[in-house]
A and B are shown apart, each in its own frame.
Chain A
């Protein structure tokens, strides 16, 4: 059962979607992780992907920048087929150089930050601009400081990652991606590894990015964020897109029973849509998450 899989009309925009996944399949050994998934992302759009653990959300995201390769189907970036595709009846694999050039335009933020521990905060941010884009060091530093200011961490430029809190590390990771001036940002559960009181800082940065028109594909368990920020919410389950649409529809009137069930379980855990989702162990004090004033 697949509901409303076609992309919504976005501002009557006739332009080519920035990302187009066409009928992609992916398995790990015998485990089918993505089964015939199609997805388009328009420029400036914020797409949130939700779904139960093991649904294939991360894998889908990682296919977009070729951290995982697909078994069949095709991926288009700005209208051109990328990574592996069929051209004139022949299978083509992009050169490493071309793959790297495409990845340089797609920012990614990982659940586990993956900062470079041997580099300072500023070093993390300027590493790729200097060595991939061959930007002069002075200019890269200046732009690096600008993105750090944007994520509120200019004061930590000289610190090393291990000296920062998780929330700060994740904001550095966002800055590192932004320093490449990406055309799209991919977020894979960017707040799931954080203590609840640190989630807000990261979400604030993500909201700001969205408001500035950044194209974003966000895998998240933060239903508030998805509801407030997403142009489109996608519910995935068992390797397929089950349902998608504007957040007010998907959250309030989901058509698929699987979506209903998933939202039900999330909202039950959560108390209500206004609280932020607690991480793994649920405290049974029955206390609704109303205390939003941390720090």
Chain B
């Protein structure tokens, strides 16, 4: 059933789609990482004008489907005069969505650090900002990394949803080819294979990062002196 000719014929356009899938995913991931940290910190702020909007945002995003969020950005925003390209809409949608989830991960990671760490920092005159950067986050990051790693793997798959707003990602390219050639079996098998070839190395990459951090946590035990 699979013919090499077909594969060679479909591959270039699928790979093009794959490049876009990877681009959108990586872009959204990095943006969401930064925005998630900021939102997570805002969510814990002592200032309600930061805390309340952050909380509302997180609840709102987590309470609605990503698909709907993408529709809103692409089809609803034009009604208020904001017209975005499929690419920008896709990246924006994924970023906004992942930001909310990452914010919660950052928040819970930061809150898992014992209060005594903050108090010790405060007692030597550190500002909250400095403590967060130098004391709390370096410890929280070890707690946070596994969840962030899961996001990193899942964003490649979630990004398939951007095909619904006509972005020519891997999923969209597959659909186009399939509806033109009716070779669903070959095409979607290839699409699946390519998604897997993206996800699997990223999962391995995450494992590698976790392992490295784990090693860093256990410094070589020094011989006991004196």
A interface residues (Cβ-Cβ under 8 A, vs B):
65, 67, 96-97, 100-108, 110, 112, 114-118, 127-128, 131-132, 155-156, 158-160, 163, 173, 176-177, 180
Which of A108, A117, A156, A160 sits near B123, CB closer than 8 Å?
A: A108
Q: List chain A residues, Cβ under 8 A from B219.
A: 160, 163
Which residues of B, 111-160, contact A by the 8 Å Cβ criterion?
Answer: 114, 116-117, 119-128, 130, 134-135, 138-139
- In the bound assembly, the distance between CA atoms of A103 and B128 in angstroms comes to 13
Given the known interface contacts A112-B116, A116-B135, A160-B219, the answer about A106 and B123 at a Cβ–Cβ threshold of 8 Å is yes
A-B contact list, 8 entries, CB within 8 Å: A102-B125, A108-B120, A118-B139, A128-B124, A131-B126, A131-B134, A132-B124, A160-B219
Which of A103, A112, A160 sits near B125, CB closer than 8 Å?
A: A103
Q: List chain A residues, Cβ under 8 A from B225.
A: 155-156
Given the known interface contacts A103-B123, A116-B120, the answer about A131 and B139 at a Cβ–Cβ threshold of 8 Å is no
Q: List chain B residues, Cβ under 8 A from A115.
A: 120
Q: Does B221 contact A (CB under 8 A)?
A: yes
Q: Does B222 contact A (CB under 8 A)?
A: yes
Asked if A127 contacts B124 (CB within 8 A), the reply is: yes
Which residues of B, 73-121, contact A by the 8 Å Cβ criterion?
Answer: 114, 116-117, 119-121
Most chain B CB neighbours (cut-off 10 Å) among A101, A117, A118, A158: A118
Known: A102-B125, A107-B124, A132-B124. 20 other contacts (CB 8 A): A67-B119, A96-B128, A103-B122, A104-B125, A106-B123, A107-B123, A108-B120, A110-B119, A110-B123, A114-B114, A114-B120, A127-B135, A128-B124, A128-B125, A128-B126, A131-B126, A132-B126, A173-B120, A177-B124, A180-B125
Q: List chain A residues, Cβ under 8 A from B120.
A: 108, 110, 114-116, 173, 176
Q: List chain A residues, Cβ under 8 A from B226.
A: 155
Q: List chain B residues, Cβ under 8 A from A67.
A: 119, 122-123
Most chain A CB neighbours (cut-off 10 Å) among B124, B125, B126, B222: B124
- In the bound assembly, the distance between CA atoms of A100 and B128 in angstroms comes to 10
* Number of residue pairs A-B, CB distance < 8 angstroms: 75
Q: List chain B residues, Cβ under 8 A from A177.
A: 123-124
Given the known interface contacts A110-B116, A163-B221, the answer about A100 and B127 at a Cβ–Cβ threshold of 8 Å is yes
B interface residues (Cβ-Cβ under 8 A, vs A):
114, 116-117, 119-128, 130, 134-135, 138-139, 219, 221-222, 225-226
- In the bound assembly, the distance between CA atoms of A140 and B139 in angstroms comes to 23
| Chain A min CB distance to B35 (Å) | 25
For A173, give the chain B residue with the smallest CB separation: B120
For A152, give the chain B residue with the smallest CB separation: B226
Q: List chain A residues, Cβ under 8 A from B126.
A: 100, 128, 131-132
Q: List chain B residues, Cβ under 8 A from A96.
A: 127-128
Which of B117, B127, B130, B222 sits near A159, CB closer than 8 Å?
A: B222
For A103, give the chain B residue with the smallest CB separation: B125
Q: List chain A residues, Cβ under 8 A from B130.
A: 131-132
- In the bound assembly, the distance between CA atoms of A101 and B121 in angstroms comes to 13
- In the bound assembly, the distance between CA atoms of A104 and B225 in angstroms comes to 32
| Chain B min CB distance to A102 (Å) | 8
Question: Which 9 residue pairs are nearest across A and B when measured between Cβ atoms?
Answer: A104-B125, A128-B124, A114-B120, A108-B123, A114-B116, A132-B125, A155-B225, A103-B125, A100-B125
Given the known interface contacts A127-B124, A180-B124, the answer about A163 and B116 at a Cβ–Cβ threshold of 8 Å is no
For B124, give the chain A residue with the smallest CB separation: A128
For B135, give the chain A residue with the smallest CB separation: A116
| Chain A min CB distance to B134 (Å) | 6
Given the known interface contacts A103-B123, A104-B124, A132-B126, the answer about A117 and B139 at a Cβ–Cβ threshold of 8 Å is yes
| Chain A min CB distance to B126 (Å) | 6
| Chain B min CB distance to A79 (Å) | 20
Q: List chain A residues, Cβ under 8 A from B221.
A: 163
Q: List chain A residues, Cβ under 8 A from B135.
A: 116, 127
- In the bound assembly, the distance between CA atoms of A177 and B123 in angstroms comes to 8
Given the known interface contacts A108-B123, A128-B125, A128-B126, the answer about A116 and B117 at a Cβ–Cβ threshold of 8 Å is yes
Q: List chain B residues, Cβ under 8 A from A132.
A: 124-126, 130
| Chain A min CB distance to B212 (Å) | 15
Q: List chain B residues, Cβ under 8 A from A155.
A: 225-226
Q: List chain B residues, Cβ under 8 A from A180.
A: 124-125
Most chain A CB neighbours (cut-off 10 Å) among B125, B134, B219, B225: B125
Which of A97, A114, A131 sits near B117, CB closer than 8 Å?
A: A114
- In the bound assembly, the distance between CA atoms of A247 and B225 in angstroms comes to 38
Most chain A CB neighbours (cut-off 10 Å) among B123, B221, B222: B123
| Chain B min CB distance to A263 (Å) | 30
| Chain B min CB distance to A54 (Å) | 19
Q: List chain B residues, Cβ under 8 A from A176.
A: 120, 124
Asked if A127 contacts B134 (CB within 8 A), the reply is: yes
